[in-house]
Amino acid sequence: MSPTLAEVTTVLEVIDGGTAYLEKRGVADARLNMQRLVGHFLGYTRVQLYLEFDRPLTEEQLAPIREALKRRGQGVPLQHVVGEVEFMRRDFLCDGRALIPRPETEELVTLILQEKETLAEPTRVLDVGTGSGVIGLSLALELPAMGELVLADVSPDALSLARENATALEVEATFLESHLFSAVDGTFDLIVANLPYVPENDRDSLEPELAHDPDLALFSGPDGLDLLKAFIAEAGEYLNPGGLLALEIGHEQAEAVSQLLLHFSFTDIDIRSDLSGVSRFPFARRL
Ligand code: GLN
């Protein structure tokens, strides 16, 4: 069945009609989804949507909204439907070439920025498994004295998306097609990575929307630790003395990752919690 927007004309009616349509299809946060969707296609902010609630819409304005609504109702993630995602209050292009950035990852960036006084300047930053580039590019825009930014990923698709985001945000970066550190040269003051950490063993119990993220961006061996292990074993070689390593990991991985960091002689090991209280962000330094 296609969305029933035929007889509705105003902004508010479209939002109401679309919300009911999405609710019927079990989409969580249906109204918020619908506001984002309508806002995107009309080029309105949320405030404008509210102020212009009784503005009538033309068929030309309705057609793409109707199409997008249908895809959202079929379970396509909102970020893919609108082709972008907000991360640290900026818009990034987002599609099936890389992982959809998650809200926890904004917490990782915020925690790193709280350490900015402790970072050498100009700060050389390496983002391993950069995906859409959100972490590295956000840091480049927020750190007070950025040195070189290197964005590495094993996936050429992800790198092409990261490159488009860098261009759109006017950030200069070096792009490396690299399995972890395989193509990385030199040393850095900050190495950040949100590597795939989902256990293969959990594959059958995952939310259906994860099917829209590339497998390569999600899974990492039976317990999800394969890439983290290989990464931590090598990371010290690419970090300047005093440099910061900052990671995102899955729930139930904190103990194993602390042990790995200890084993590979990192100091100041501190696993920070996310807003839901999960030990999520290992921070560590090189002596
Ligand atoms: N670094 C990217 C992000 O945090 C991609 C992560 C990944 O593909 N696992 O969104």
pLDDT for 3 beyond 80: no
- Position 209 confidence tier, pLDDT thresholds 50, 70, 90: confident
Same domain, 174 and 273: yes
Q: Which atom of ligand 1 is nearest to the CA of 131?
A: 5
User: Distance of alpha carbon 129 from its chain centroid, rounded?
Assistant: 11
Q: What is the pLDDT of residue 147?
A: 97
Q: What is the pLDDT of residue 208?
A: 83
pLDDT in tens, 130-144: 999 999 999 999 999
* CB 284 less than 6 A from any atom of ligand 1: no
Same domain, 73 and 120: no
Q: What is the DSSP letter of 195?
A: -
**Residue from 88, 99, 165, 216 to probe ligand 1 pocket by mutation (most atoms less than 8 Å from CB):** 99
- Position 9 confidence tier, pLDDT thresholds 50, 70, 90: confident
Residue with tokens 């950025």: 146
| Backbone angles phi and psi of 48, in degrees to 5 | -60, -40
* CB 33 less than 6 A from any atom of ligand 1: no
pLDDT for 2 beyond 70: no
* Average pLDDT estimate for 10-14: 95
Same domain, 78 and 104: no
Give the whole-angstrom CA distance, residue 20 versus residue 166: 37
Please report, in range form, the residues annotated as the binding site. Answer: 129-133, 153, 194
Domain stops at, among 82, 109, 135: 82
Same domain, 68 and 108: no
- Position 8 confidence tier, pLDDT thresholds 50, 70, 90: low
Domain stops at, among 82, 108, 131: 82
pLDDT in tens, 239-283: 999 999 999 999 999 999 999 999 999 999 999 999 999 999 999
pLDDT in tens, 143-194: 999 999 999 999 999 999 999 999 999 999 999 999 999 999 999 999 999 9
Tell me whether residue 60 is in a domain: yes
pLDDT in tens, 31-90: 999 999 999 999 999 899 999 999 999 999 999 999 999 999 999 999 999 999 999 999
Range of the domain at 15: 11-82
Give the whole-angstrom CA distance, residue 123 versus residue 190: 7
* CB 100 less than 6 A from any atom of ligand 1: no
Same domain, 254 and 175: yes
Asked if the peptide bond before residue 214 counts as cis, ω within 30 degrees of 0, the response is no
Domain count, the chain: 2
Same domain, 118 and 202: yes
Please report, in range form, the residues annotated as the binding site for S-adenosyl-L-methionine. Answer: 129-133, 153, 194
